[in-house]
């Protein structure tokens, strides 16, 4: 089945992503920022769908929008918002920020211009139906070691969190 | 004072000695919550100011008086007989007990003895009322903990008791069943059959309540170890009734200083060990069975004879004072009456069980969770009409 | 144009897959309309069934046996004043019920009412359902925060913690069922909702009984977690009436409140359909293995019709028992009309073409209805868990058990 209105959806979703990204950093109210971030993540999930990666899109929604962002909101709700709103929103290190932005932007631009020729063999081949299976094979086959290392790292993080929170109990 | 509390509950609670949350970790906000006076689970118009750390209760403060009607003050402007119906309005779910306590106190002041038949009728009606009160407690307590259904079962069966009351004296709730010196009404035809039928009717129903709750895992988890209070604390705070007995103190005024005809009946005083909500539940359930035992004996042995002692038309007790207390469904209900020799009492002071028991709330819920506050308010079995009077 | 519309009818896939926008729209209308009606019916049924559990009668006044009560309620809620607290965050307050509603209705896109009766068949169907339904917790959190009041805030905190905790166990239980779909010659499983039912069809077994008792335990975990996910008794802490008055929607009234209710009931039906799809064989009729053959197929395909006729019969008994007083004339006529409609539906269901098309949907809905009845039953029976106990059950009981079941299922899958 052929996708419909691809270009429109791409610009639509990208626009939402960029807009919500700007909202995240400009909102005074932390809860509004978090909501904008959720919108951005959902739009990103849409972009994944357009890249024939439904599994990644689904995981994005479950983990980021449904899980992590809820925890974010959870913490933000407990924080005293009035005090946070009075604090200064942007820090004064604009020089560093500018440099980082220029570097990142240059990198992205370079990839956009030269990417096609640099990584010819890695232009994504859309596989419509076996996408999920391929991710499984990749994660648990080709990159098994990296995957296990990452999970160990998470385990360390969990233990650290427990040790820190244990003080309270 | 009241205005200030309403505007800023935090300032009101700040003078309390509270357990402070651990400041070394995250600086989380403490919540001050007003529970009540309009809240589904405070059994009327109790207002509890809760200081919470997350879900944990750091301290509580009860604000009472929303239902204050000045019952004790009213007494000073009424004759002894006229004041009798007013006491029914204190603990309105156990109106018969209230009336019994008042009538006996005045009788004691006047040195009058109610005739044996009147005493038996009094015992039967008071015990029926204890059952009704416990049924109401069970239904609402279970509803607070989230079990909806027992409420309707208990109300179905309480209806039978109220029917007997209605047939006996015309009223269902605020009965005004007794008069100073005995009872006004002779039992109606078929009273004994009705009561006997009821005694046979209720035990399976009590089993039915127990089936829904006693072994229900969620119920046990919600009540076991919740709102614990030791016998020493109970005594120190003056807590009485099933709450005291659940803590392991065998103290029941019906046995300790028998009034009416209680000395003539054979019954047990159920006690608990741990003094938690589950024990209080078990104690009250067993009390319902013991009440049935008393009623059965009373109905079978009810003597013939007059129902009213010789009492002058105008009651004018001699100068003096008296304290008389009975075992109401909720605990020790005492009346302290000072007479100046006129037709009106000089002062009446009521010792309401609900008011005294409520003082244990803070001790029982401190360090527990919000949900436990609800369970404990339910298990204390307070009636705000009696707390505020 | 007509060709385009009719082109789908001959195909054997869902309209979404066939790429037929017209039929997809029709399906969306039918499904969403059907869910809305089901929510209203569920509202009436819950009040009625709960009342009978509790020796009451329930709604009796509006229409015969209170049949019109949901409609009366809807009118009342629509015309009620819409109150927004002055201290509330207006935008978030407005957005929260919409998010819940959207999240709980969007999942119906992949619910397979039959082999071709779904709006579409995504190849990440079950993941999509879990993901989108997990978004509803956002609505709860937002509602609780935006109300700017203590009770809703505590309700929202409880709810977010509860839903996230139970999602983990729920997800693992689902994974163990998905693992079972891969037990075929090629060894590849599927996440598609239709594919999962077809896997049960080809393995000739509901996953409930697969590797007994592993499938059973996984199903049990899901059945518990789904009650917690939808905030229903005995896990209804976020809206615990006796503690938090109404939890996260304390400050809501009128239409917005009804959106919450609509969302809640829609979510209940949605998770029930996940359970039905994953473990109880989806649209398959009961006993497809034992009672095989033409005759049995015919017998089972006649059941829907007989069921509706039976309902009509009960309605007519009600008509006969109505008091013969002029006051009750409208009620009697109404009940008779209702019975007649039921009977007519029953007769239509006997027609062979309808019968063949409809029986999948019927069995699916019947199985979901059983779950909905369980929800009511739980509510009438159980007290409410306390927050820490709820967390203990979620993390210390359900999670380890579901991990264990997952591992054992994998081992069994490799061995057999």
Average pLDDT over residues A91-118: 84
Chains touching B (at least 3 CB pairs under 8 A) are: A, C
- Return the structure tokens found at B99: 């009336």
Write out pLDDT tens, residues C203-237. Answer: 877 888 777 788 888 888 998 888 888 888 788 87
Interface test with B, best of A75, A78, A162, A165 (most B CBs within 10 A): A78
Domain count, chain C: 2
CATH number of the domain to which B222 belongs: 1.10.645.10
Shortest Cα–Cα distance, C150 to chain A (Å)? 11
Interface test with C, best of B148, B159, B276, B378 (most C CBs within 10 A): B148
State yes or no: pLDDT of A90 exceeds 70. no
State yes or no: pLDDT of B219 exceeds 50. yes
Residues with Cβ within 8 Å of B378's Cβ and at least 6 positions away in sequence, in order, are: B41, B43, B137, B140, B141, B144, B145
Task: Give the whole-angstrom CA distance, residue B192 versus residue B215.
Answer: 35
The verdict on a CB contact (< 8 Å) between C384 and B143 is no
pLDDT, position A20: 92
Confidence (pTM): 0.82
Task: Give the whole-angstrom CA distance, residue B134 versus residue A60.
Answer: 55
The verdict on a CB contact (< 8 Å) between C385 and B218 is yes
Neighbours of C186 (CB within 10 A): 6
Same domain, C247 and C390: yes
Same domain, A2 and A79: yes
Q: How far is CA B6 from CA A72, B121, C45, in A?
A: 34, 47, 42
Q: How far is CA C386 from CA A35, B137, B368, C232, C272, in A?
A: 30, 20, 11, 14, 24
Domain count, chain B: 2
- Return the structure tokens found at A162: 């427990």
State yes or no: pLDDT of C118 exceeds 60. yes
In which element (H, E) is residue B132 found? helix B116-145
| Contacting residues of B for A80, CB less than 8 Å apart | 29
Domain assignment of residue A54, yes or no: yes
Q: DSSP secondary-structure letter at C286?
A: S
A78 → closest Cβ in B22, B24, B29: B29
- Closest by CA to B283, choosing from B96, B130, B100, B92, is B130
pLDDT, position A156: 94
Domain hosting C303: range is: 296-350
Q: Yes or no: say if C234 and C384 are a contact pair by the CB < 8 Å rule.
A: yes
The verdict on a CB contact (< 8 Å) between B28 and A168 is no
Domain assignment of residue A71, yes or no: yes
The residue among B63, B90, B114 that closes a domain is B63
Interface test with B, best of A71, A79, A163, A169 (most B CBs within 10 A): A79
Same domain, C316 and C376: no
Same domain, C314 and C263: no
pLDDT, position B25: 42
Same domain, B147 and B47: no
Task: Give the whole-angstrom CA distance, residue B298 versus residue B121.
Answer: 8
- Closest by CA to B195, choosing from B295, B302, B94, is B295
Domain assignment of residue C75, yes or no: yes
**Would you say the C-alpha torsion B55, B56, B59, B61 has a positive or negative sign?**
positive
The verdict on a CB contact (< 8 Å) between A73 and C128 is no
Same domain, B129 and B212: yes
| Contacting residues of A for B22, CB less than 8 Å apart | 167-168
Domain assignment of residue A118, yes or no: no
| Contacting residues of A for B31, CB less than 8 Å apart | none
CB contact B273 to C (< 8 Å): no
Write out pLDDT tens, residues C122-147. Answer: 778 888 888 888 888 888 888 888 88
Same domain, C54 and C196: yes
CATH number of the domain to which A46 belongs: 1.20.120.1200
Domain assignment of residue A155, yes or no: yes
Same domain, B44 and B144: no
Write out pLDDT tens, residues B227-239. Answer: 888 888 888 888 8
Tell me the pLDDT band of B22, cut-offs 50, 70 and 90: very low
State yes or no: pLDDT of B14 exceeds 60. no
Q: List the single residue in C with minimal CA-CA distance to A54.
A: C124
State yes or no: pLDDT of B17 exceeds 60. no
A/C interface, count of CB pairs below 8 Å: 82
Chains touching A (at least 3 CB pairs under 8 A) are: B, C
Domain assignment of residue C363, yes or no: yes
pLDDT, position A81: 61
Domain hosting B248: range is: 72-388
Q: Yes or no: say if B212 and B205 are a contact pair by the CB < 8 Å rule.
A: no
Same domain, B48 and B130: no
Share of chain C above pLDDT 90, in %: 1
Same domain, B124 and B250: yes
Q: How far is CA B124 from CA A96, B117, B120, in A?
A: 88, 11, 6
The verdict on a CB contact (< 8 Å) between A167 and B29 is no
Interface test with C, best of B146, B147, B158 (most C CBs within 10 A): B146
Write out pLDDT tens, residues A46-82. Answer: 888 887 778 888 888 888 887 788 888 877 776 666 6
The residue among C350, C372, C394 that closes a domain is C350
- Exposed/middle/buried for residue C1 (C-beta within 10 Å: 0-12, 13-18, 19+): exposed
A62 → closest Cβ in C123, C134, C138: C134
Give ipTM to 2 decimals: 0.78
How many residues in total does chain C contain? 416
Domain assignment of residue C5, yes or no: no
B25 → closest Cβ in A78, A80, A168: A168
The verdict on a CB contact (< 8 Å) between C56 and B33 is no
Same domain, B168 and B312: yes
Q: How far is CA B372 from CA A6, A84, A156, B161, B221, in A?
A: 56, 33, 36, 31, 11
| Contacting residues of C for B148, CB less than 8 Å apart | 50, 54, 379-380
Q: List the single residue in B with minimal CA-CA distance to C377.
A: B149
The verdict on a CB contact (< 8 Å) between B374 and C243 is yes
Domain assignment of residue A92, yes or no: no
Same domain, B15 and B152: no
Task: Give the whole-angstrom CA distance, residue B28 versus residue A80.
Answer: 8
pLDDT, position B177: 83
Domain hosting A49: range is: 1-83
Shortest Cα–Cα distance, C92 to chain B (Å)? 22
Same domain, C152 and C251: yes
Domain count, chain A: 2
């Amino acid at each position: 089945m052929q996708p419909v209105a691809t270009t429109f959806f791409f610009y639509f979703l990208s626009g939402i992503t960029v807009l919500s990204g700007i909202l995240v950093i400009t909102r005074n109210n932390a809860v509004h920022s978090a909501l904008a971030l959720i919108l951005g993540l959902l739009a990103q999930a849409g972009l994944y769908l357009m890249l024939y990666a439904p599994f990644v899109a689904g995981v994005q929604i479950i983990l980021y929008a449904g899980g992590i962002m809820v925890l974010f909101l959870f913490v933000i709700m407990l924080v005293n918002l009035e005090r946070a709103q009075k604090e200064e929103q942007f820090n004064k290190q604009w020089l560093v920020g500018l440099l980082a932005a220029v570097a990142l932007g240059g990198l992205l631009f370079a990839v956009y211009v030269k990417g096609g020729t640099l990584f010819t063999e890695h232009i994504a081949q859309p596989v419509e139906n076996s996408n999920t299976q391929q991710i499984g094979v990749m994660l648990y086959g080709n990159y098994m070691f990296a995957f296990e290392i990452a999970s160990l790292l998470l385990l360390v993080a969990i233990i650290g969190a427990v040790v820190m929170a244990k003080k309270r109990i | 004072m009241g205005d200030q509390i309403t505007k800023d509950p935090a300032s009101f609670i700040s003078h309390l000695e509270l357990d402070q949350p651990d400041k070394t970790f995250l600086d989380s906000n403490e919540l001050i919550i007003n529970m009540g006076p309009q809240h589904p689970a405070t059994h009327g118009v109790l207002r509890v100011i809760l200081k919470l750390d997350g879900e944990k209760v750091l301290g509580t403060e009860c604000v009472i008086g929303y239902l204050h009607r000045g019952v004790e003050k009213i007494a000073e402007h009424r004759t002894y007989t006229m004041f009798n119906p007013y006491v029914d309005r204190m603990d309105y779910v156990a109106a018969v007990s209230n009336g019994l306590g008042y009538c006996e106190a005045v009788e004691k002041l006047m040195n009058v003895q109610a005739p044996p038949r009147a005493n038996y009728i009094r015992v039967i009606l008071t015990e029926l009322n204890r059952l009704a009160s416990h049924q109401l407690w069970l239904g609402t307590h279970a509803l607070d903990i989230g079990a909806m259904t027992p409420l309707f079962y208990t109300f179905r069966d309480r209806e039978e008791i109220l029917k007997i009351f209605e047939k006996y004296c015309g009223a269902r709730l605020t009965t005004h069943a007794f008069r100073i010196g005995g009872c006004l009404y002779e039992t109606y035809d078929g009273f004994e059959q009705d009561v006997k039928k009821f005694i046979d009717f209720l035990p399976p129903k009590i089993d039915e309540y127990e089936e829904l709750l006693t072994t229900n895992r969620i119920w046990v988890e919600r009540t076991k170890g919740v709102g614990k209070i030791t016998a020493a604390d109970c005594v120190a705070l003056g807590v009485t009734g099933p709450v005291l007995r659940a803590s392991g103190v065998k103290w029941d005024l019906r046995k300790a200083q028998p009034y009416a005809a209680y000395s003539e009946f054979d019954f047990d005083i159920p006690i608990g060990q741990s003094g938690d909500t589950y024990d209080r539940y078990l104690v009250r359930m067993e009390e319902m069975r013991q009440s049935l035992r008393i009623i059965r004996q009373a109905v079978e042995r009810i003597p013939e004879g007059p129902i009213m002692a010789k009492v002058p038309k105008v009651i004018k007790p001699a100068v003096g004072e008296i304290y008389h207390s009975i075992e109401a469904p909720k605990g020790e209900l005492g009346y302290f009456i000072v007479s100046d020799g006129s037709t009106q009492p000089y002062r009446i002071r009521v010792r309401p069980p609900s008011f005294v028991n409520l003082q244990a709330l803070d001790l029982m819920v401190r360090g527990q969770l919000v949900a436990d506050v609800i369970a404990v308010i339910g298990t204390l079995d307070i009636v705000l009409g009696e707390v505020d009077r | 144009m007509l060709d385009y519309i009719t082109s789908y009818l001959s195909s054997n896939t869902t309209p979404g897959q066939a790429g037929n926008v017209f039929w997809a729209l029709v399906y969306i209308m039918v499904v969403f309309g059907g869910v809305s009606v089901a929510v209203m019916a569920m509202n009436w049924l819950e009040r009625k069934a709960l009342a009978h559990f509790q020796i009451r009668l329930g709604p009796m006044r509006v229409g015969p046996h209170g049949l019109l009560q949901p409609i009366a309620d809807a009118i009342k809620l629509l015309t009620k004043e819409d109150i927004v607290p002055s201290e509330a965050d207006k935008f978030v307050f407005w957005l929260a019920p919409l998010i819940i509603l959207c999240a709980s209705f969007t999942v119906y896109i992949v619910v397979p009412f039959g082999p071709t009766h779904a709006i579409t068949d995504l190849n990440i169907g079950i993941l999509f359902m879990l993901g989108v339904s997990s978004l509803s917790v956002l609505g709860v959190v937002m509602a609780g925060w935006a109300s700017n009041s203590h009770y809703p805030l505590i309700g929202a905190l409880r709810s977010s913690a509860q839903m996230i905790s139970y999602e983990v166990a729920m997800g693992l239980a689902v994974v163990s069922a998905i693992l079972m779909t891969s037990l075929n010659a090629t060894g590849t499983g599927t996440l598609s909702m239709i594919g999962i039912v077809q896997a049960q069809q080809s393995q000739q077994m509901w996953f409930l009984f697969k590797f007994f008792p592993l499938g059973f335990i996984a199903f049990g975990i899901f059945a518990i977690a789904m009650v917690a996910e939808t905030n229903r008794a005995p896990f209804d802490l976020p809206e615990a009436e006796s503690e938090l008055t109404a939890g996260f929607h304390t400050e809501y009234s009128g239409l917005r409140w009804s959106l919450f209710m609509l969302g809640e009931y829609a979510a209940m039906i949605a998770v029930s359909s996940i359970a039905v799809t994953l473990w109880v064989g989806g649209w398959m009729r009961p006993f497809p293995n034992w009672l095989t053959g033409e005759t049995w197929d015919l017998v089972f395909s006649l059941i829907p019709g007989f069921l509706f006729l039976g309902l009509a019969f009960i309605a007519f008994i009600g008509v006969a028992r109505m008091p013969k007083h002029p006051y009750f004339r409208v009620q009697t006529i109404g009940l008779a009309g209702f019975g007649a409609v039921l009977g007519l539906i029953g007769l239509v269901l006997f027609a062979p073409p309808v019968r063949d098309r409809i029986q999948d949907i019927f069995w699916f809905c019947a199985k979901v209805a059983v779950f909905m009845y369980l929800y009511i039953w739980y509510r009438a029976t159980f007290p409410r868990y306390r927050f820490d106990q709820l967390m203990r059950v979620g993390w210390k009981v359900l999670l380890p058990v579901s991990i264990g079941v997952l591992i054992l299922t994998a081992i069994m899958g490799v061995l057999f």
